[in-house]
């Protein structure tokens, strides 16, 4: 399955970009998120690095990505809070969309 990148250079897993097309993709994302929380829990890290590690960006604000942002938030609040309670409040999820609205494919009056 091929992901649409619209020719944007640098969209590779080596650059910390993950696509969400298959179950395998979702497992990679989950594993990467846990890795970020584990790294951020190190007492030797400064606050700036912890903030960087706990900042998750979702590109595209279509229905799937907006729903995914909600699921990601629930994963952090319901599951990761058990292992990293001090870090959960520092985690940030951002949605980036080229259009002016979330879910641009839907009618504005919905």
Strand partners, 93: 56
- Residue boundaries of the structural domains of the chain: 20-96
Q: Which residue has the higher pLDDT, 16 or 29?
A: 29
- The 10s digit of each residue's pLDDT in 68-87 is 999 999 999 999 999 999 99
Neighbouring CB atoms inside 10 A of 44's CB total 5
For the question of whether the overall pTM of this predicted structure is more than 0.85, the answer is no
Q: Quick one: which H or E segment has residue 25?
A: helix 23-40
Of the CA atoms within 13 Å of residue 75, those in its CB half-sphere come to 18
Question: What mean pLDDT is reported for the chain?
Answer: 86
d(Cα 56, Cα 66) in Å, to the nearest integer?
13
Mean pLDDT over residues 7-20, rounded?
66
Q: Quick one: DSSP state of residue 102? A: S
């Amino acid at each position: 399955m091929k992901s649409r990148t619209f020719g944007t250079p640098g969209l590779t897993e080596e650059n910390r970009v993950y696509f969400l097309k298959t179950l395998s993709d979702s497992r990679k994302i989950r594993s990467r998120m846990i890795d970020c929380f584990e790294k951020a829990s190190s007492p030797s890290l400064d606050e700036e690095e912890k903030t960087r590690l706990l900042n998750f960006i979702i590109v595209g604000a279509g229905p799937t990505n907006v729903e995914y942002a909600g699921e990601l938030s629930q994963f952090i609040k319901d599951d990761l809070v058990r292992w990293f309670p001090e870090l959960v409040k520092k985690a940030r999820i951002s949605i980036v969309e080229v259009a002016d609205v979330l879910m641009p494919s839907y009618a504005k009056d919905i």
